[in-house]
Amino acid sequence: MDATQFLPSGPKLGVNIQNGDYQDEKGIWHCGKCGKPKQKRIDTELFHKTVWCLCDCEFSVLEEKKRRQEHEEEIRRIQRLKDASMMDNKYQKASFSSYVVRNENRKAFQIAKAYVRDFRTMVNDGHPKTGEKNIGLVFYGKVGTGKSYTAACIANALIDEKVSVIMTSFVKILQDIQGCEDEAEYINILNGCSLLIIDDLGAERNTDYALEKVYNVIDGRARADKPMILTTNLSFDEMMRNPDIRYRRIYDRIFETCIPVEISGNSFRIMRAAQRQKRLEHYFEVEE
C-alpha cells in the first residue's frame, strides 16, 4: 500500500492560492501576506511528498470561524436552557442591569448579585465565607415588591453562565403533577437542575393533597442536596408561627437550607399603575 495516498497533494480545506502568493527556490508556495509556507515537504525513507498546510493568515481565518461557531452554539445552548427553565415570558428578560434599586430592596439586590457570583463555588466547594454548600434563599414580603423579579434576575444571570435553572410555581407544579403519568419522573426533572426557583409559595390550595405535594417537592430537593430559591407574600412570622402542623412541616424543611431575605417597601405594581393612570388621564378628558 502506498502511504502517500493518504497525504493531501492538492490544496486542502482552508488553503487557497491567492494573488501575491509566491514559490520559493524549492517550489514551495508561501503566503504573500504573512510570508509563511502553504506547503510542507515530507521526506522519509519510504516516500517524498509535498503536502499543503495552513499559513498564519489561513489559520487565523479558521480560528475566527471556530470562535464564531462556538459563540453561536453558546447562544443556542443558553436559549435551550431558557426554554427548559419553565420561566414565564414576562421574566425572561429580567436582569440586574434593569433592576430598580431602592433603600427597601437594596440588601436583597446585593444578596442576589452575590448569590450569582458565588454560586459555582458554593455548590462545588462550599460558600467562601461559611463553607456551607447548596444554600438557598427565601424572598418574602408584601405583594408587588419585586420578589419574583429578583429571583428571575438570579435565574437569568446563572443561565447566561450556562447553569441549568428551573423557575416555576407550586400552582403550576400541582397542575403538572395532576396531568403527568409519572410523578416520580417529573420530580426528578425538578431535582435535575442546578437551581430550582419556586415562585409564590403560599398561593397553592389549602388541601391535604396539595400541601403533601408541596412538602414532597421541597423534601426531594433537600434530599438531592441541591439549592432552591422561593418567593412568598407571607411574612416571616406567618411562616415560623403557623399553627397548622402541615404548614409548619413545610416551612421547617425550607429553613433547614434556605436563608430568609425580606424585600419591603411599597408595591411596584401599584406605583406603576398610578403612573400609567396619570399618563392616560388626558386621553379621556371631555371637552366642554
Average pLDDT over every residue of 178-200: 88
Tens digit of each residue's pLDDT (9 = 90 or more) over 252-263: 999 999 999 999
Are 275 and 100 spatial neighbours (Cβ–Cβ below 8 Å)? Answer: no
pLDDT score at 278: 56
> Above 60 in pLDDT, residue 243?
yes
* Amino acid present at 252: D
What proportion of the chain, given as a percentage, has pLDDT over 70? 86
What per-residue confidence (pLDDT) applies to 117?
Answer: 96
Q: What's the pLDDT score for residue 121?
A: 93
- The listed range with the strongest mean pLDDT (12-16, 122-126, 154-158, 266-270) is 154-158
Give the pLDDT score at 75.
Answer: 72
Instruction: For the sheet with 195-201, list strands across it.
Output: 165-169, 195-201, 228-232, 136-140, 258-262
Please give the mean pLDDT across all residues of the chain: 84
Specify the pLDDT at position 4.
42
Q: What is the pLDDT of residues 21-75, one digit of tens each?
A: 999 988 899 998 999 999 888 888 888 888 888 899 888 888 999 888 887 877 7
Q: Burial of 82 by CB count in 10 Å (0-12 exposed, 13-18 middle, 19+ buried)?
A: middle
Do 134 and 259 form a contact (C-beta atoms < 8 A)?
Answer: no
**Domains, the chain, with CATH or none:** 1-84 (no CATH), 86-271 (3.40.50.300)
Strand 195-201 and strand 165-169: the pairing is parallel
Per the structure block, which three cell numbers stand in for 55?
499559513
pLDDT digits (tens, 9 = 90+) for 131-187: 888 899 999 999 888 999 999 999 999 999 989 999 999 888 888 888 888 888 888
Q: What is the pLDDT of residue 237?
A: 92
User: How far is 220 from 192, CA to CA, in rounded Å?
Assistant: 11
Cβ-count burial 196-226 (b if 16+ within 10 Å, e if not): bbbbbbbebeeeeebbebbbebbbbbbebeb
- Residue 94 has what pLDDT? 93
**Residue 53: CB partners within 8 Å, gap ≥ 6?**
15, 37, 38, 39, 40
Residue 83 pLDDT grade (very low, low, confident, very high; cuts 50, 70, 90): confident
pLDDT on residue 87? 80
| DSSP labels, the chain | --GGGGS--S--TT----TT-EE-TTS-EE-TTT--BSEEEEE-SS-EEEEE---HHHHHHHHHHHHHHHHHHHHHHHHHHHHHT---GGGTT--GGG----TTTHHHHHHHHHHHHHHHHHHHT--TTT---S-EEEEE-STTSSHHHHHHHHHHHHHHTT--EEEEEHHHHHHHHHH-S-HHHHHHHHHHSSEEEEEEET-S--SHHHHHHHHHHHHHHHHTT--EEEEESS-HHHHHT-S-HHHHHHHHHHTTTEEEEE--SS-HHHHHHHHHHHHHGGGGPPP-
- What per-residue confidence (pLDDT) applies to 179? 80
pLDDT at residue 2, rounded to an integer = 43
- pLDDT value of position 195: 95
Question: Is the model's pLDDT at 265 over the cut of 80?
Answer: no
Comparing 69 with 77, the larger pLDDT belongs to 69
Share of the chain above pLDDT 90, in %: 40
CA 90 to CA 279: how far, in whole Å?
22
d(CA 278, CA 146): 22
Asked if pLDDT for residue 281 goes beyond 90, the answer is: no
